[in-house]
Amino acid sequence: MTTARSLKTPEELEAADLIEPEMLGGIRAVADRYAITLTPTVVSLIDRTDQNDPIARQFVPDPNELLTTPEERADPIGDQAHSPVKGVVHRYPDRVLLKAVHICPVYCRFCFRREMVGPQGDGTLSPEELAAALAYIREHTEIWEVILTGGDPLVLSPRRLAAIMRGLAEIPHVKVVRFHTRVPVVEPDLVDEAMIAALKESRKVVYVALHANHPREMTQAARTACARLIDAGFPMVSQTVLLRGVNDDPAVLGDLMKAFVETRVKPYYLHHPDLAPGTSHFRLDIAEGQKIAAALRGTISGLCQPTYVLDIPGGHGKAVIGESAVRSEGGCYSISDFRGGQHIYPPK
C-alpha cells in the first residue's frame, strides 16, 4: 500500500495497518518522546505480512524505545563536547560538521542523534546562526572539509542550500563539501535539477554520503536519484548502520554493498550501532559485528568492502574495529586468509 503523504502520528500508522490497535497506547508514549515520519516511499517498501520486516523495523516505532539502559547516552558520539558555535562540531583538525537543520525526511528508530532531531529538536540554524557558523569555518584555516549533516541537509529548499553553498564558496581553504543524507532512498523525487544546481553553487568538490541499511532500500527510484547526483559530478559513498534484525547477516549486507557498487556508490562505513537511548534492541556485540564484517571478505568483491567502525562514546572520534588479519608470532607475522587459514609472513 502506498500513501500519498508522509505518516507522522501513531493514529496514521494504525490506519495504514503498520501497528496493531492494541499497540496504540505504547506507541503514543514513544511519539511523545521521539519524532516519527515515514515517507510514502518507505511505506511502500514495508511488507506487512512479515512480522520482522527489516524496513518496518527501521522506521515504525517500537515500545522498546522507552527502555533505556545504563550505558546509553543522550549524545552518544559527543557532538556537544566539540561544538564551538551552534551548528558546528569540530572533532578532527581538518574537518567540521555543519548541522544546518535538525529535520529529517524519515526518523530512524536507532538514530544516534534522536534527542536532537525532529520537530522538537534543535531546529534549523537562523541566518545569524548560519553566519556565525560560517565565520568560525572562515577563521579556522585548518578546515579542509565541511560535512553537512544534522538532520538531513537535503531536506533544505534549493534556495537555502544555495545560500549555504555560496557562503562556503567564499572560504578558500575549504576544498570539499560532503552531504550526509537518506533523501535519495526515502524521498528520491527530491533529487531534482533545482537541488543539483544548488549543490553546484559553491564550485567546491561535493561528495554525497548515502545512508541505507537494507538492499530493498536500493529501489530503481533510489538508483536513479543517485545516478542524477553522480552524473552531475558528485561522487557518492555509503554509510550503513549494523542493526540487529535488519542487516546482521553477511548475505543481506553483501547484497546491500553490491547494490551500492552497482549504483556507483562506493561502500565507505559500516557503523557499529551507537549507545543512543532506547536502542538496545538494535545492538549487537562487537565480536558478532566483527564476524559479520569478516564474512564479507573473500565472498564479495574488494570494491564492495566497507570499513567497520565505532564512534567512541564521549566524542573521541571513530575507531576501525574489524578483526585484524595480522598477528605477531615468533618474530614473524601470521596472516589469516578469508577462509581462516593461517600463513607466516616474514618481518620484512
Query: Which amino acids are annotated catalytic?
Result: 91-92, 95, 104, 108, 111, 113, 274, 311, 318
Least distance in angstroms from the C-beta of 37 to ligand SF4 = 9
Query: CB-based burial of residue 16 (10 Å sphere; 0-12 exposed, 13-18 middle, 19+ buried)?
Result: middle
Q: Is the dihedral of CA 103, 106, 108, 109 positive or negative?
A: positive
Measured between alpha carbons, how far is 88 from 130 in angstroms, rounded to an integer?
Answer: 9
Least Å distance, CB 163 to ligand SF4, is 21
Kindly calculate the radius of gyration of the chain based on its CA atoms and give it in whole angstroms: 21
Q: What 8-state DSSP symbol labels residue 195?
A: H
Nearest to ligand SF4 of 152, 248 (CB atom): 152
Q: Does 111 bind ligand SF4 (CB under 6 A)?
A: yes
223 counts as binding ligand SF4 under rule CB under 6 A: no
Is residue 117 close enough to count as binding ligand SF4 by CB under 6 A? Answer: yes
Stretch that binds ligand SF4, among 78-86, 110-118, 187-195, 339-347 (CB under 6 A): 110-118
Query: How far is Cα 121 from Cα 157, in angstroms, rounded to an integer?
Result: 19
Answer whether the bond into residue 254 is a cis peptide, omega within 30°: no
CB of 134 to ligand SF4, least distance (A): 22
Residue of the chain from 23, 97, 98, 104 that contacts ligand SF4 (CB under 6 A):
104
Q: Which of 175, 199, 182 is nearest to 265 (CA)?
A: 182
Stretch near ligand SF4 under the rule CB under 6 A, chosen from 100-108, 119-127, 285-293, 325-333 = 100-108
Under a CB-based contact definition with an 8 Å cutoff, are residues 310 and 318 in contact?
yes
- CA 53, chain centre distance (Å): 20
Segment near ligand SF4 (CB under 6 A); pick from 8-16, 43-51, 91-99, 107-115: 107-115
Please state, in angstroms and rounded to a whole number, the distance separating the CA atoms of residues 279 and 281: 5
User: What does the per-residue mask of binding to ligand SF4 show for 152-191, with x meaning CB under 6 A?
Assistant: x-----------------------------x---------
Query: Is residue 108 close enough to count as binding ligand SF4 by CB under 6 A?
Result: yes
Cβ(282)–Cβ(245) under 8 Å? yes
Size of the site for ligand SF4 (CB under 6 A): 10
**Pick from 57, 113, 204, 272: which binds ligand SF4 (CB under 6 A)?**
113
Do residues 96 and 137 lie in contact, with contact meaning Cβ atoms separated by under 8 Å?
yes
Residues in the chain: 348
Closest to ligand SF4 by CB, 117 or 137: 117
107 sits near ligand SF4 (criterion: CB under 6 A): yes
Contact range with ligand SF4 by CB under 6 A, out of 93-101, 102-110, 253-261, 307-315: 102-110
**What residue type is assigned to position 39 of the chain?**
T
Residues forming the site for ligand SF4 (CB under 6 A) = 104, 107-108, 111, 113, 117, 151-152, 182, 211
